[in-house]
Amino acid sequence: MDATPAKKRDGIWSMLWQQTPQRDAFPKPDAEPTDGCDECTRLRKLRRAARKEHDGSTATDCNIRIRLHADGHGRRES
């Protein structure tokens, strides 16, 4: 039997669970930037750099910003 207090054991498991990456079963494809747009190009480069650093949060933020920015180009992505 483990003599470690339950509170300490639960804290360790909680930390491990929080560090486990959660995957979306149906992730959206990357947003398509508009060619010739400086803002789209900047966000595309930032997304690529974020992926190289395994920073999924920033990559996702870039996709959202590209999708929202696409409204200014007269098109809307789903």
Helix, strand and coil percent figures for the chain, each rounded to 5: 60, 0, 40
pLDDT at 69: 83
Domain membership of residue 60 (yes or no) is yes
Cβ–Cβ under 8 Å, residues 40 and 34 = yes
Cβ–Cβ under 8 Å, residues 2 and 9 = yes
By CB neighbour count within 10 A (0-12 exposed, 13-18 middle, 19+ buried), where does 12 fall? exposed
pLDDT at 45: 96
Domain residues for the domain of 58 are 36-78
3-state secondary structure of 2: coil
Mean pLDDT, each 10-residue run in order, the chain (78 residues):
52 57 69 90 95 92 88 61
Cβ–Cβ under 8 Å, residues 47 and 62 = yes
Please name the amino acid found at residue 22.
Q
pLDDT at 73: 74
Tally the domains of the chain: 1
Domain membership of residue 13 (yes or no) is no
